[in-house]
Amino acid sequence: MKKRKGRGSQKNPVGTNQSAMPTKKTEAATNNSLNPPVIPQHVKVAKKIHELGYIYALYGLLDAEVVAYGSIRYFFDVLFVNQSSGKLIHDWLQTPSGLAIALVESIAFASFSMIANTSDNKATGAFKQAAASFWPYCRNAVRELKKTSRGVGNTLKIATFFKEVSLDSMVMPLGLTFGAASVLNRVWFQRMDNRRREMKEGLKTLYEEISELKFDSSMRSKLQQDRINLQGYYEKIQYQSQTEQKFAYLSAAYTGLMEGLAFYVGILTFISFTSPAFIPMATCCIAFAIISIATRIYEEYEYQRKFTVDSLIIKLRLKQKDIEALNALTAGQIVGDSNEQYERIFKEIIEISNALDAKAVSTLNKVLKSMKEGLKIYAFINKMIFGATVFLTTLPAYLIIGSVVTGVLILLGMTLKAIIKQHCLLKKEANGQLLFTDEGQLAASQLVEKLIQTHTAVSTTKPSSFRAWFEVTWNFFSGLDKGRKSMGYLLMLTFAELSLHENYQDSPLMIKLSVGLGILSSLIFSLRVYAFNFGANLQKEPIQLNKHSNEYQFEEIPTGNVPPQIIV
């Protein structure tokens, strides 16, 4: 039989039994079992906070009030462009109908939010399940409305720099149109993503079911039927339709566009058009917006890539089981057309391996992932700057320019780091070769196992403590601005003062309360992420945020393994 070469390790010949030989790995495992790892004190505190659960209820209450106030503020900002929305909301709250609507909305949102944030995925009550399912859609819809309103407003403000004509009349039609489009886009994408996650769970269950299949060579009459039954598993592999994949890319691009206009271009509104720094800053901000679109498309591509890899891995596992069944059927001897069957299976394995190679992580993937993380850090810097508006009345121009320059340097540094790291990985070669000689039929299952291990996108590295603390810090500064919004109704109704221009302005007491609520919200927001990242995940590997959070999630994708190359 022809030799088949693949990259791997050949220190031990195939079939050598070394189970009785102690290794460093087994000794380390024994030591770890005898001496369990020491849990840091701050992790124990996080676990205690998580088990009490009060922090999630407080977060749900504050978050609901932010959403309630933000939804009303959005409609007043869009419908009454040439008037002070603050004064209109204050006067509206003075009416019985306005106060009743605000109270009903706040109570309803608070109830849904607290139930959703304190219930687990296995809630049995019908109302709890409905609330937990409804709240993410409601929260994300309001979030998209606010983001779209900010993006449209920023675009029109910048447009007035070039054309000295008021464009306020376009705020309402554009705000309502793009707001409705953003809500529909978000709802569609979330429903699609939920279905896709269910399909992914189905693939995981199917993979585990296939992996547990065993074949007994003593029951030869049953083996042939077992091989036929294996073909039925191919029909259980779920796929996402190409039409849905294309719409998912369009949805991701639209989301990236709105985020770019809202978060990265809007900073230009703080710089004078006549300033010498305006053109360079505009160039950088437009580049940030384009990168925002590209990274959103990358996220969607990465998810679809992993979904395809999962499907191919299942096919590879089925081929491995087919080889094992054929080995048991032939018992190491040439029976009938067994050689032709082996050759057919090997060719199919090669085709699947080539398809997996085509879906491998490339340098462009690494660069886009690094840009995504760079934008995250830049957004964090802006979050700190705009969070400081609670304490500052105006933002100095040098502070804004410095944040943009810092963002450019971060993106360049992250991109360069990704290119260098990927270049080093491509130069790294595995040691030795795995040779398949006359016992190739028996050893082919090991080759497939090697292929599965190298292509399986499951990180074996420990969770990143830096990223966990980064999320805690992010939410701390995010809470500064959201604190006063969480009690926006009460502050505006009770403590606002009427100025000489017939507008309601912040009174000294209102400013002090805003600062206090900002600090309180910062503590609650950050403690909630701290408890979940370190307390809830104490016994788990991945670190991720609560299912109802909209923060970014980073996932490590192993790229150090070199896939075996099969040469026929």
Note whether 59 and 101 are within 8 A (CB): no
Q: Where are the domains of the chain?
A: 4-10+39-536
Looking at residue 499, its pLDDT comes to 57
Instruction: Pick 106 or 19 by higher pLDDT.
Output: 106
Mean pLDDT over each residue of the chain, to the nearest integer: 76
* 3-state helix vs strand vs coil in the chain, percent to 5: 75, 0, 25
How many CB atoms neighbour CB 460 within 10 A? 8
Handedness of CA 187, 528, 109, 91 (dihedral sign): negative
Looking at residue 248, its pLDDT comes to 95
Note whether 468 and 514 are within 8 A (CB): no
Instruction: Pick 374 or 496 by higher pLDDT.
Output: 374
- Mean pLDDT computed over 194-206: 92
- Mean pLDDT computed over 355-383: 85
| Residues 130, 456: Cα–Cα separation, whole Å | 35
- In three-state secondary structure terms, 231 is helix
Looking at residue 287, its pLDDT comes to 92
- Mean pLDDT computed over 536-553: 43
Whether 232 shows a pLDDT value over 60: the answer reads yes
Whether 249 shows a pLDDT value over 90: the answer reads yes
Whether 131 shows a pLDDT value over 60: the answer reads yes
pLDDT digits (tens, 9 = 90+) for 168-189: 788 888 888 999 999 999 999 9
Q: What angle do CA 505, 390, 85 make, to 5 degrees?
A: 35
Looking at residue 384, its pLDDT comes to 75
* Confidence label for 196 from pLDDT (cuts 50, 70 and 90): very high
463-472 contacts: CB < 8 A, separation 24 or more? Answer: 463/537, 463/541, 463/542, 463/543, 464/543, 464/554, 464/556, 467/543, 467/554, 468/533, 468/534, 468/543, 470/380, 471/529, 471/533, 471/545, 471/551, 472/526, 472/529, 472/530, 472/533
- In the chain, pLDDT over 70 holds for what percent of residues? 74
| Residues 358, 361: Cα–Cα separation, whole Å | 9
DSSP per residue over 272-297, as a string?
-TTSTTHHHHHHHHHHHHHHHHHHHH
Looking at residue 479, its pLDDT comes to 79
Looking at residue 255, its pLDDT comes to 94
- Mean pLDDT computed over 159-176: 81
Q: Would you mind telling me the total number of residues written for the chain in this entry?
A: 568
* Confidence label for 379 from pLDDT (cuts 50, 70 and 90): confident
Looking at residue 496, its pLDDT comes to 62
Closest CA to 554 of 307, 405, 377: 377
Distance, CA of 391 to chain centre: 32
* Confidence label for 507 from pLDDT (cuts 50, 70 and 90): low
